[in-house]
Amino acid sequence: MLALAEFDNSPRLKSLHSIVDFIFLIREKPLQKKVIINVGKKFRFNNTQLAEVVGVSVRAFHRKKPTDTISIDASEITMRLAELYRNGLSTFDNDEKSFLQEA
């Protein structure tokens, strides 16, 4: 299961087993803004930071409703962020505080 499935309750991501499957899926229908926000919350990003990280203009990001889809590129970046989060937690023995500690 892809790490991103932990942030999206829809069944469409739960059945995916590879990044290739994910890429084909989001080319048909990109992720909704609410999924991107859920991933961003784990990194403690505010909406402005999140928009910049996923490569969407801040203005466009703020205008979108939570159920609106975001670009394919932003969806792919969000998938990478979710993988980074899962790998980071694993590295720090599931200690979120240590993983997200500011230098």
Q: Where are the domains of the chain?
A: 3-99
Residues 56-98 have pLDDT tens digits of 999 999 999 999 999 999 999 999 999 999 999 899 998 888 8
CA atoms within 13 A on the CB side of 21: 11
Residue 1 pLDDT: 54
What would the mean pLDDT of 36-53 be, rounded to a whole number? 95
User: Model pTM?
Assistant: 0.86
CA distances to 4, 49, 102, 103 from 7, rounded to whole Å, are: 5, 18, 23, 26
More confident residue, 97 or 54: 54
